[in-house]
Structure 1
C-alpha cells in the first residue's frame, strides 16, 4: 500500500501521529503543498500510489488518469470541491470526506473574525505595537441580527454560539432542519431577506455550481451600510471584485475572510483596511486535525479490509486490497 499525503504544511507538525499510523499501513510519501505544486510534478508523484489523502490540492481528471493504481481518495476536511468526485466514481475509486469534524473549530473562528471586525482588533493591535495609541469606536455583536448562509455542521455550531450573545439568528438554506432550527431558535428566510436583515452575515455553506458568486453586486446592494460579511467556507462564494467595490463605496461596513477565490490571494482585497483576513485556518486546530487524522486512518484500514467506508461522497464502495 502506497499512501500519498498532501496536507497543509503545519498539519504534519500538528498531528505527527497521522504519519506514524500511516507508516504502519504501508509506504508513505509526504508532500508540502502550501506554496503550491506544479501539475507536472503532481502527475509524477501520483503515478504509483494506492491512496491519496489531500487537503486543498486539486485532484482532477488528469491527475486521476495519471494514477493507474489509485484505489481511494480521502479529503482531509469536509469540502471536497477540489476533487473530481464524479470522474473518480467512473473509475470505481471511492472518495470520502470528514464532515462536521472541524465544525467546532470553524465556528470558533467565524466568531473570532466577527468580533475582530466589529471592534477593529487587528488594526488596533498593529497600531499599538508600532507605538500609536488611539481610541476608535466599534460596534457590538450583542443582540444584533446574525444571518447564516447554510445549515450544516459549521452553521449550526455558529448558531449555537450566537445564543450566548442574545442574537436573532436567520438562516438561508435549501436544507431546512426544522428540529435543529427549533433547538437553536433560528428562523429560516429567503435569500433576499438574509442579505437585507443581517448585521453580521456568516457564509458557512458548501460550494456548488449553483451558488458560486452568491455574494455579488446585486446581493451586496441589499445589505445594510453597517453590515459585515464573514466567510469561513469557500472563496468562490463571493465575487471578490464586487465585494471590493462594495467596500470602497461603503455599501457595507466590512468583511472578515478566511478564504479567497485564489489562495494565496492575488488581488488587494485582503489588504483593504475594511477587511480582516486569515489564511484559510478555520479548521486548523490541534483538536480538529487530530480528529480528521484518526478518521482518515480508520477509513484506510477499512479499505484494506474490504469494509464499508465512512462518509463516501461519490457512491463507490470499498474494494478489497492487499497490504
Structure 2
C-alpha cells in the first residue's frame, strides 16, 4: 500500500512510520510541504491516501483527488481543510484527536515563562558577552483567562492552578462537563478577561470563532495583559492584535500560530518588529511523545482505510 506523506512529518515520527512500513508493508512516498505537483503525480500512479500537516493545500488539489481518497491530518486541527469541498468530492478526512494535549499545554507555559522572565533576551545578551540582568514577574497569584475550555484548555488550567498557584478564569461557548478546575467560569467573555493578567487561547476554529479576537474583544482585556496563542491563528485578527501591542493595550504576546503559515508578514503588520512579541513556528505539539501518539493514530487510520474498517473521521464527515 502506497501512502503519500509530508517529509517533515515522516521525519518527526520516523521510528513509528519505519516500523509500520516493515510490519504492514506500507510504502511511504515522501513529498515536501505543499508540493501538490509531486503529490498528485503519486496519486495518478495509484496512491489514494495522503498525510498532511497544518498547512493549507489549494482547492485545486482537493478537486484533483479521486472520490473515496483519504486525507489524514497529522494533528487535531483541520481548519485548513476545505470540509465542504471534501463532502462534495466524497473525500474522507481523518485526524488524530487526544494525541497532543499535554505537549501543547506545556508549551503554553514555556512561552509564557519566556515572556515573563525575558529568557530569550537574556540568552541573547549572554551570547553577546553582556551580563545584564532583566527583572521579570512571577506567575504565582496571577490570574489567567483560559479562552476555550476543552481538553487542552483544561490541561493548561491544571498546570496553572496546581503548578503555579494561579487563579484560573475560564471561558467557553458552552458549559463544560467539568469545571472544577476553574476558580471562575463564565459564558461571558468580558467577565473572564477583565481582571486577567494572562489570556491563553484554546478555542477551536469554527465560522463563529474565526476572527474572535478582534479590536473590540482585545480592548476588553486588562491593560498590559499578556496574550498567548498556541491554538489557531485564525482566531485572531492580526492587524488588530498588532495595534493592541503597538499601543500597549496588551503588554506582550507569544504566538505559535498564524493566519497564514509559514508566517508571511505584510508591510503594515510585521510581528517580527515588535520587541514585546515572542514568535515560534507552530511547534507547540512537536514533541517526541505527541508525534509518536499522532503517528500511531495515523497508522491505525491507514490500516482501517486499507481494510474497510472505521476511520477516525473529522466530526463533519462522519
- TM above 0.5, yes or no, is yes
Corresponding residue number in structure 2 for 1:169: 168
Corresponding residue number in structure 1 for 2:5: 5
Deviation per CA, 1:167-223: give whole Å up to 9, x if none.
111111113214x21255552341222332221100111112222222222122222
Which sits farther off after the overlay, 87-96 or 272-281?
87-96
Question: Per the alignment, in what secondary structure is the counterpart of residue 88 of structure 1?
Answer: helix
Question: For residues 13 and 212 of structure 1, what CA distance do their matches in structure 2 show?
Answer: 29
Question: For residues 97 and 12 of structure 2, what CA distance do their matches in structure 1 show?
Answer: 22
Question: Per the alignment, in what secondary structure is the counterpart of residue 133 of structure 1?
Answer: coil
Q: Which runs of 5+ in 1 are unaligned?
A: 317-323
Note the aligned Cα RMSD (angstroms). 2.1
Report the Cα offset of residue 282 of structure 1: 0.3
Corresponding residue number in structure 2 for 1:115: 113
8 Å CA contact retained: 2:305, 2:311: yes
Task: Pick one of 138, 142, 145 that aligns with 1:144.
Answer: 142
Question: For residues 191 and 21 of structure 2, what CA distance do their matches in structure 1 show?
Answer: 48
Corresponding residue number in structure 2 for 1:319: none
8 Å CA contact retained: 2:154, 2:181: no
Question: For residues 18 and 283 of structure 1, what CA distance do their matches in structure 2 show?
Answer: 18
Corresponding residue number in structure 2 for 1:93: 91
Question: For residues 182 and 311 of structure 1, what CA distance do their matches in structure 2 show?
Answer: 31
Corresponding residue number in structure 2 for 1:282: 284
Q: Which runs of 5+ in 2 are unaligned?
A: none
8 Å CA contact retained: 1:213, 1:238: yes
Task: Pick one of 241, 244, 261 that aligns with 2:242.
Answer: 244
Question: For residues 226 and 219 of structure 1, what CA distance do their matches in structure 2 show?
Answer: 14
Corresponding residue number in structure 2 for 1:300: 302
Normalized against structure 2, the TM-score is what? Answer: 0.90
Question: For residues 53 and 210 of structure 1, what CA distance do their matches in structure 2 show?
Answer: 27
8 Å CA contact retained: 2:31, 2:39: no
Question: For residues 263 and 301 of structure 1, what CA distance do their matches in structure 2 show?
Answer: 30
Closer/same/farther in 2, CA of residues 41 and 127 from structure 1, 3 Å limit: same
How many positions carry a matched residue from both structures? 311
Question: For residues 87 and 26 of structure 1, what CA distance do their matches in structure 2 show?
Answer: 28
Q: Which runs of structure 1 show a deviation greater than 6 angstroms over 4 or more consecutive aligned residues?
A: none
Report the Cα offset of residue 139 of structure 1: 1.5
1:256 aligns with 2:258: no
Report the Cα offset of residue 71 of structure 1: 2.3
Deviation per CA, 1:102-144: give whole Å up to 9, x if none.
1100000001111111111111111111112222221221111
Alignment of 1:1-323 (within 5 A): 1-6=1-6, 9=8, 12-22=11-21, 24-33=24-33, 36-37=34-35, 39-40=36-37, 42-47=39-44, 48-68=46-66, 70-163=68-161, 164-178=163-177, 180-183=178-181, 185=183, 187-267=185-265, 268-316=270-318
Question: For residues 76 and 287 of structure 1, what CA distance do their matches in structure 2 show?
Answer: 14
Question: For residues 190 and 86 of structure 1, what CA distance do their matches in structure 2 show?
Answer: 31
Closer/same/farther in 2, CA of residues 117 and 286 from structure 1, 3 Å limit: same
Normalized against structure 1, the TM-score is what? Answer: 0.88
8 Å CA contact retained: 1:60, 1:82: no
Question: For residues 284 and 135 of structure 1, what CA distance do their matches in structure 2 show?
Answer: 31
